[in-house]
């Protein structure tokens, strides 16, 4: 094997596997800051991501932007020159404010919008706020999601949980796309967060995996539908990424082994996913639409 080029990094070692042993926190929405409650902090790119102006003066709406992948996307977009409307679940003000500060320290505007997107009215209000603040929307990122593992199987999935997962993950995406498209000029982009679960569903995540497969299919269909409007629609499908959603919604034994099954042998970090969103939002991907881009460590 040739000597290691100092300009290259071993992807197995580029980010350390998080110390997941015993890591458990309250679900998002249950306390002021889920990120600060984590012992092994996710990497959102605070100290590493450097922008090059790929999204200069764009306007982006990012749902679920308070923590995890959403926070990393907001940070990366801002450092690429975009202003960001950050939608987050009510009760997560501390995390959302931290994300807004990262955006503003990057020299861009951050508009915070607390909302439960399970209602059509809340989705309309989010779009109205973005248009009021900036006049249009250049990139819509449908990232907000809810999951709750049920190791006991389908018998343990209540109708209430099923409804919450479907409305958070699918209905909100549908409503936001429908209401945003009239305000999106040619060259705009929609990016939906799917998951490796779309094609390889874990039994304990049946409802969540079902929505992620639906997101991938919706993305492909909508891409064809709006191509003549000059709007591209794509999806990012993360694998095991270390975010507050994991220790908050999965049993301890699953958390401890999280990500070790991948070819790279570790969980990914939010910033490693955010770069895919930047690519799909930027002109560099101008001939890419209707695609699902996997960021999964080779799982």
Q: Kind and range of the H or E element at 208?
A: helix 206-226
Active site annotation includes 208: yes
How far does CA 227 lie from the centroid of its chain?
A: 23
> What's 224's DSSP letter?
H
Distance CA 110, CA 93 (A): 14
Distance CA 216, CA 237 (A): 8
Strand partners, 238: 295
Distance CA 202, CA 84 (A): 33
Q: Which of 88, 171, 208, 287 is catalytic?
A: 208
Burial of 278 by CB count in 10 Å (0-12 exposed, 13-18 middle, 19+ buried)?
buried
SS3 per-residue string spanning 9-70: CCCCCCCCCCCCCCCCCCCCCCCCCHHHHCCCCCCCCCCCCCCCCCCCCCEEEEECCCCHHH
Q: Kind and range of the H or E element at 293?
A: strand 292-295
Cα distances from 18 to residues 5, 44, 256, in angstroms, run 26, 14, 9
Q: Which residues contact 50 (CB under 8 A, 6 or more apart)?
A: 79
Q: Kind and range of the H or E element at 88?
A: strand 83-88
Distance CA 166, CA 173 (A): 10
Active site residues: 208
């Amino acid at each position: 094997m040739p000597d290691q080029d100092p300009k290259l990094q071993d992807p197995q070692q580029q980010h350390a596997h998080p110390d997941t042993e015993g890591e458990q926190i309250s679900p998002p929405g249950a306390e002021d800051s889920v990120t600060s409650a984590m012992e092994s902090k996710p990497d959102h790119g605070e100290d590493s991501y450097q922008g090059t102006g790929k999204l200069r003066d764009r306007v982006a709406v990012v749902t679920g932007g308070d923590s995890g992948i959403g926070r990393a996307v907001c940070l990366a977009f801002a450092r690429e020159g975009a202003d960001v409307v950050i939608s987050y679940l009510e009760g997560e003000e501390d995390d959302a404010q931290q994300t807004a500060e990262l955006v503003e320290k990057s020299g861009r505007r951050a508009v915070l919008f607390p909302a439960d997107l399970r209602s059509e009215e809340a989705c309309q209000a989010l779009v109205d706020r973005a248009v009021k603040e900036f006049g249009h929307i250049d990139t819509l990122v449908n990232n907000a999601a809810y999951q709750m593992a049920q190791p006991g199987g389908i018998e343990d999935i209540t109708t209430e949980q099923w409804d919450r997962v479907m409305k958070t993950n699918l209905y909100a995406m549908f409503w936001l796309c429908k209401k945003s498209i009239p305000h999106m000029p040619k060259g705009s982009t929609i990016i939906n967060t799917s998951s490796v679960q779309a094609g390889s569903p874990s039994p304990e995540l049946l409802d969540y995996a079902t929505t992620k497969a639906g997101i991938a299919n919706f993305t492909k269909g909508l891409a064809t539908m709006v191509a003549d409007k000059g709007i591209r629609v794509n999806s990012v499908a993360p694998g095991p990424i270390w975010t507050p959603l994991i220790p908050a919604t999965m049993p301890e034994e699953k958390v401890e082994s999280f990500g070790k099954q991948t070819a790279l042998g570790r969980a990914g970090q939010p910033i490693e996913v955010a770069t895919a969103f930047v690519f799909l939002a930027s002109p560099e991907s101008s001939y890419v639409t209707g695609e699902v881009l996997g960021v999964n460590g080779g799982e």
